[in-house]
Amino acid sequence: MAVQDIKPTRSELIELKRKIKLSESGHKILKMKRDGLILEFFEVLEKAKSVRAELDADFDVATEKINIARAVEGIVTVRSTAFSFKDAPQLEVESKNVMGVVVPKIESSSVRKSLNERGYGIIGTSSRIDEAADTYEILVEKIILAAEIETTIKKLLDEIEKTKRRVNALEFKVIPELSEARDFIILRLDEMERENTFRLKRIKS
């Protein structure tokens, strides 16, 4: 079809301008969301680094304590003590909203226990086993916290990537194509108006 055969209308131009305005508004909102998500990501990342460092330190302490307990009490005693624990930690996974992203919130219970709650006989064991149990309970709590934070980081990263793709699609594809179509329609409407004016003059003459 020749360009001259394309005859757009004023209503088409108005509708196109409306779409451009909506796209530009959406682009602005998405950019704000993307920037907010990036700021939130770096905040959570700093927290994750801190928790990871604490986790590594707690792991080293727990390893040291369990090795001391094995040396003092013997491997058999340490293992039998471990099997006597009654209650396993209880976890409840809830959710919270961070900048429109649903991330997990892990609530734990029965991780830290008193001597009486652990299930092994206090008389038959030494303080070395108690210290090892303490450090491993602290380690488990830190692992749970690290899991929550690192899952949040992954979900934020996924949402940032998704939002960036939508921003780029609007900025480099949708809006330019709509703007090009608008400019073409304006040009054709001007040409059609000049043609009509010229036709009317010929009819008069």
One pLDDT digit (tens) per residue for the chain, 205 residues:
555 567 888 899 999 999 999 999 999 999 999 999 999 999 999 999 999 999 999 999 999 999 999 998 888 888 887 777 766 777 888 888 888 899 888 887 767 776 666 666 655 567 888 888 889 889 999 999 999 999 999 999 999 999 999 999 999 999 999 999 999 999 999 888 888 888 887 787 6
What does CATH list as the number for 11-204? Answer: 1.10.287.3240
How far, in Å, CA of 15 to CA of 35, rounded? 30
How far, in Å, CA of 127 to CA of 129, rounded? 5
CB count within 10 Å of CB 149 equals 20
* Nearest-10 Cα torsion for 74, 80, 86, 89: 60
Domain range summary for the chain, segments of one domain joined by +? 11-204
- Nearest by Cα to 182 from 27, 18, 24: 18
C-alpha torsion sign, points 54, 60, 62, 65: negative
